[in-house]
Amino acid sequence: MQAAPVSDLPISVQFDFATGIFEPWLELQDRRLSNLKEMFYDQERVRNILSEGDPVIYEIRYHPFQTSTSDMSLGVTRIYPGKIGDEYHMTKGHFHERLDQPEIYFCIHGEGYLLMETREGDFRAAPWKPGTITHIPPMWAHRVVNTGKDTLFFVASYHLAAGHDYDAVTRRGFAQVVVEREGKAVLMPNPRR
Ligand code: S6P
Ligand code: ZN
Instruction: Give the residue extent of every domain in the chain.
Output: 21-189
Strands (E) located in 27-173:
27-32, 56-66, 71-79, 83-84, 87-88, 103-109, 112-117, 123-128, 133-136, 141-146, 152-159
Residue 170: predicted pLDDT: 97
Q: Is 156 in the pocket of ligand 1 (CB under 6 A)?
A: yes
pLDDT > 90: what percent of the chain?
97
Q: Residue with the nearest Cα to atom 9 of ligand 1?
A: 75
Pocket test of ligand 1: the residue of 1, 37, 92, 167 to mutate, having most ligand atoms within 8 Å of its CB, is 92
| DSSP-based three-state secondary structure for 37 | helix
Q: Is the pTM of the predicted complex or chain greater than 0.85?
A: yes
- Torsion, Cα 46 50 56 59, to 10 degrees, reads 60
pLDDT tens-digit readout, 4-59: 899 999 999 999 999 999 999 999 999 999 999 999 999 999 999 999 999 999 99
Q: How far apart are CA 179 and CA 113, in angstroms?
A: 11
- Average pLDDT for 101-115: 98
77, 91 in Cβ contact below 8 A?
Answer: yes
Q: How far is CA 77 from CA 1, 6, 56, 182, 189, in A?
A: 15, 23, 12, 28, 26
Query: Looking at residues 138-148, what average pLDDT do you find?
Result: 98
Domain range 21-189, CATH class:
mainly beta
Whether 104 and 72 have beta carbons less than 8 Å apart is answered as no
